[in-house]
Chains A and B, each alone.
Chain A
């Protein structure tokens, strides 16, 4: 992907007043699906779904002006830094602190944290979680690139020692703001997952049609046919949920939390199944580094983990359903 074209894609949904293309979120979903299909090794999700969308939704005018034109021009890479260790981050275990506008603490892992220019960082201020915009080129920031299950996407440990941090959105609302950013990102990530899952099905189908065992193509064996049919079923459940999520995202519907959770759960399930069973259909070749299967297997894990694991979203979905049904 050329730099100019990448710049165009990154600014697809950024309003024209900030030098973006001013397109809708449905167009962004289409871009996401193709990135997923190609297992694109670029920091697009971190920059666009996390940083740009976060600033667009919650940033001040000054923050928008500082971030959005540069993202649209392809000059700024972003990231979202919430995790601090194994397990789920909560208000009670959040250790990063902002005092007097200075951020101190460690975030690990941060997807694209080693290449990003700007970060949205979850940290406690006055004992309550807030979200902060941090220029990673500032003094007091140190970064360490870490080994990842998915080496086509980078992850880092970010250490902040009294780094200037500017709050985004309301004080004390950090977890709610992050959840809102993640709701929106979940739909877009679901399209990346869907693109990957469909590609796995295609690769498995093509391989099965060309591979002979016992004098016949293996695609003719019922065990293989059922496996591919199972992939198709899961992928279509994921696609329909993703389309509904795209609508909710595009019009900012009140149904978004439910639609986004459903899209993410279905897409995570479909991609995991398709990526692992595509290896199985490829047999020994699928277990080698030389065949692309493992790139998708790895990316399916990366995409399921990056915005919170599926069980977190299952809990969110059911909580939302409970609230809705109680109302």
Chain B
């Protein structure tokens, strides 16, 4: 594992940092501090993305010919680190550029690529991913949204769920069932669609955390051209796997307060036997969180080292989300209980750390589910990393229409 940049990496970091200092300042001067999920925030995000594209820092690993940076994976990681330090990142493009547009690039004709890739890189158009359904969560391939061929078009009816940003996205990649008479993985096909079509309706989901960042998306006789198909008819699952390869890494980054913040809280509070920071039970937990966090950090170093040496990272990064999501819940709950009766308060004006621990407590259950539940991730580690036998499968060779669903 390398802890330091190679000379080339150090030079790239220096260059990126200099660019960020200058451009972040100009960006801030133009937009100031904005609240997320507002039109102004979106406008700022699009402007920043355009700025990055002009500087060669958008989609760093993509060819310059499509608007990318023509760089390496390690350069992309380095820029991401420096961008985070500079405090100017925006999340709106992550799914589109990380998952959807690469799928479009891999499975569409030149005309489609020319139309869509460059505007996406520049932040002019945003993409969403339409896979999950009420009856297809962990088992995405059980999805029911139906597409029926009608001449040169397909007519689509059904519903997607948990679509991040569907309400602000311009285009989406949509996985549908085109043949219910074959086993479930074989009857799927992928399309790109226009999210502004009148036959597409987005309804925000009211989350338990209070926010409405995700959507249900309904399709009522949505007509798409056969030329909007990505990959062959019936090959949708293979296309989807290309899209999903990056998801678990993308969701894995930890968020919310860490051992540092709870240590700060403990310094200020009184516990049952004196200062909370002196409580041995708490100190043991703190040590455990530190070790987990550092474990994740150095696991990322191992991934980076592999990238830096031009190797494929190993399976170790699969531990990320299991640790991050569960630690988030445990740490937030410990903090809230440390505040004692006062922990029930959620107003940022009253609660310590501007209620970051309370917010984290209400987000953590979602993080344990999104992008692969704890249980699915453990199955993946057990079966794909350790090579253990899988569960007995009853759905592999049955026509989708004959598969038990309970409904």
CA distance A283 to B365 in the complex (A): 9
Q: Does A82 contact B (CB under 8 A)?
A: yes
Known: A88-B271, A149-B361. A293 touches B208 (CB 8 A): yes
**Contact: B340 with A305, CB < 8 Å?**
yes
Q: Do B366 and A87 touch across chains, with their CB atoms under 8 A apart?
A: no
Residue of B nearest to A153 (CB): B344
**Count, chain A residues at interface, CB 8 A:** 57
User: Which A residues are CB-close (under 8 A) to B341?
Assistant: 82-83, 109, 111, 305-306, 308-309
Question: Within the complex, which residue of A82, A93, A212, A221 is in contact with B142, where a contact is CB–CB below 8 Å?
Answer: A212
Name the contact of A149 in the complex, choosing from B162, B281, B358 (C-beta under 8 A): B358
Given contacts A213-B137, A215-B393, A311-B279, contact A272 B207 (CB under 8 A): no
Q: What chain B residues lie within 8 Å of A284 (beta carbons)? A: 132, 137, 161-162, 369-370
A147, B345: Cβ atoms under 8 Å? yes
B405 touches A (CB below 8 Å): yes
Identify the stretch in B110-118, B122-130, B371-379 within 8 Å (CB) of chain A at 4 or more residues: B371-379
**A250-274: which residues lie under 8 A (CB-CB) from chain B?**
272
Q: Which of B276, B347, B369 contacts A287 (CB 8 A)?
A: B369
Confirm or deny: B54 has a beta carbon within 8 angstroms of a beta carbon on chain A.
no
For residue A315, CB closer than 8 A to chain B, the reply is yes
B339 partner, pick from A87, A214, A310, beta carbons under 8 A: A87
Q: Which residues of A contact B207 (CB under 8 A)?
A: 287-289
Query: Binary interface profile of B, 384-407, with partner A (CB < 8 Å = 1, else 0)?
Result: 000000010111001000011110
Q: Which residues of B contact A87 (CB under 8 A)?
A: 268-271, 276, 338-340, 342
Name the CB-closest residue of A to B282. Answer: A311
Closest-CB distance, B60 to chain A (whole angstroms): 32
Q: A109-B341, A283-B138, A288-B208 are in contact. Are A88 and B270 (CB under 8 A)?
A: yes
Complex contact A214–B393 (CB within 8 A): yes
A202 part of interface (Cβ distance < 8 Å): no
Cβ of A137 under 8 Å from chain B: no
Is the C-beta of B38 less than 8 angstroms from some C-beta in chain A? Answer: no
A87-B276, A214-B394, A287-B207 known; A302 vs B365 contact (CB < 8 Å): no
- Asked whether A305 lies within 8 Å of B138 as measured between CB atoms, the reply is no
Given contacts A211-B406, A223-B378, A150 and B344 within 8 Å (CB-CB):
yes
A146: B residues at CB distance < 8 A:
345, 347, 350
Q: Is B294 an interface residue (CB 8 A)?
A: no
Determine if B345 and A215 form an interchain contact, defined as CB atoms under 8 angstroms apart: no
The 8 A CB mask of A281-293 against B (1 = contact, 0 = none) is 0011111111001
Interface string of B248-291 (1 = CB under 8 A from A): 00000000000000000100111111001001011000000000
B336 on interface, CB distance cutoff 8 Å: yes
Minimal beta-carbon separation of A84 from chain B (angstroms) = 9
- In chain A between 154 and 200, which residues have their CB closer than 8 angstroms to a CB of chain B? 155
- Could you say which residues of chain A place their CB within 8 Å of the CB of B370? 284
Q: Is the interface of A mostly helix, strand, loop or mixed?
A: mixed
> Residues of A contacting B379 with CB < 8 Å?
223
Confirm or deny: A100 has a beta carbon within 8 angstroms of a beta carbon on chain B. no
Of the candidates B138, B210, B393, B398, the one having the most CB atoms from chain A within 10 angstroms of its own CB is B138
B205 CB–A CB distance under 8 Å:
yes
Q: Tell me if B316 counts as interface (CB < 8 A to partner A).
A: no
1/0 contact trace for B219-257 toward A, CB 8 Å?
000000000000000000000000000000000000000
Q: Bits for B321-338, please: 1 = Cβ < 8 Å to A, else 0.
A: 000000001000100111
Q: Which residues of A contact B358 (CB under 8 A)?
A: 149
| CB contact between B369 and one of A216, A223, A286, A309 (< 8 Å): that residue | A286
Give which listed residue, B206, B269, B398, B403, contacts A289 with CB less than 8 A: B206
Docked-complex contact B270 and A109, CB < 8 angstroms: no
Q: Is the CB of A86 within 8 A of B352?
A: yes
- 0/1 per residue, B161-205, Cβ < 8 Å to A? 110000000000000000000000000000000000000000001
The B-contacting residues of A in range 65-124, CB under 8 angstroms, are 82-83, 85-90, 93, 108-109, 111
Please give me the residue from chain A that is nearest to B269 by CB atom: A87
| Closest-CB distance, B103 to chain A (whole angstroms) | 22
Could you list 12 examples of A-B contacts with CB < 8 Å? A82-B341, A86-B342, A109-B342, A148-B344, A149-B336, A280-B368, A280-B369, A284-B161, A285-B134, A287-B366, A311-B338, A315-B273
Which 7 A-B pairs have CB atoms at the shortest separation, nearest pair first? Answer: A215-B395, A294-B208, A87-B269, A289-B206, A83-B341, A315-B272, A309-B337
Told that A149-B344, A310-B337 touch, could you supply 11 new A-B pairs with CB distance under 8 A? Answer: A86-B340, A210-B406, A215-B398, A223-B375, A283-B369, A287-B365, A288-B206, A301-B361, A305-B341, A308-B341, A312-B271
